[in-house]
Amino acid sequence: MTDESGEPVEYAPVDTLLGLLERGRGAGWLWVREDREAGAEAVLDCLRRETRYDRQCDARHDYHALLVRELALPIDLLRQQLDGADEDDHDRAREILAALALTGSVEAREVLRRYVRSGRWWQGVLDTLGERWPAPWWGDLAEVAVGRLDGAEPDYPSSEPWPSWRESVPEPRRSARHVQALAPGNVRLLAVLADGGSSASERSAALSALAWRPPVPEILPLVPELFTAVPAELGARPLPRLGRVVERLGVLAVGDARVWAASDRPWLARLGLAVLARHGGVRDLPPLLAELERQWAAGQWCGSDDLADGLARFGPAAVGAAPVLRRFWEQTPHSYERPSYLRALAAIRPGATGAELTESLWDCEEESRLFAVEHAPDGPELRCRLAELQGSPVESEELRAAAARRLAGGNR
CA torsion sign, 194 to 200 to 201 to 205? positive
Per-residue pLDDT tens over the stretch 117-131? 999 999 999 999 999
Q: What percent of the chain has a predicted confidence (pLDDT) above 90?
A: 90
Please state the rounded mean pLDDT for residues 76-96: 98
pLDDT of amino acid 85: 97
Mean pLDDT estimate for the chain: 94
Residue 145 lies in a domain: yes
**Radius of gyration of the chain, Cα coordinates, nearest whole angstrom:** 25
| Number of domains forming the structure of the chain | 1
Kindly tell me if the per-residue pLDDT of 101 is higher than 50: yes
Whether residue 61 contacts residue 97, with contact meaning beta carbons closer than 8 Å, is answered with no
Residue 140 lies in a domain: yes
Q: How far is CA 186 from CA 58, 195, 219, 225, in A?
A: 38, 14, 10, 18
Residue 149 lies in a domain: yes
Per-residue pLDDT tens over the stretch 235-275? 999 999 999 999 999 999 999 999 999 999 999 999 999 99
pLDDT of amino acid 406: 97
Residue 319 lies in a domain: no
Torsion of CA 58, 64, 67, 69, to 10 degrees: -140
pLDDT of amino acid 201: 94
Residue 270 lies in a domain: no
Per-residue pLDDT tens over the stretch 171-225? 655 554 444 455 789 999 999 999 989 999 999 999 999 999 999 999 999 999 9
What is the domain range of residue 67? 17-167
Residue 131 lies in a domain: yes
pLDDT of amino acid 171: 64
pLDDT of amino acid 173: 58
Residue 34 lies in a domain: yes
pTM of the entire predicted model: 0.92
pLDDT of amino acid 8: 62
pLDDT of amino acid 302: 93
Residue 342 lies in a domain: no
Which candidate, 358, 377, 378, places its Cα nearest to that of 368? Answer: 358
pLDDT of amino acid 5: 44
Can you tell me the distance from the alpha carbon of 104 to that of 119, in angstroms, rounded to the nearest whole number? 23
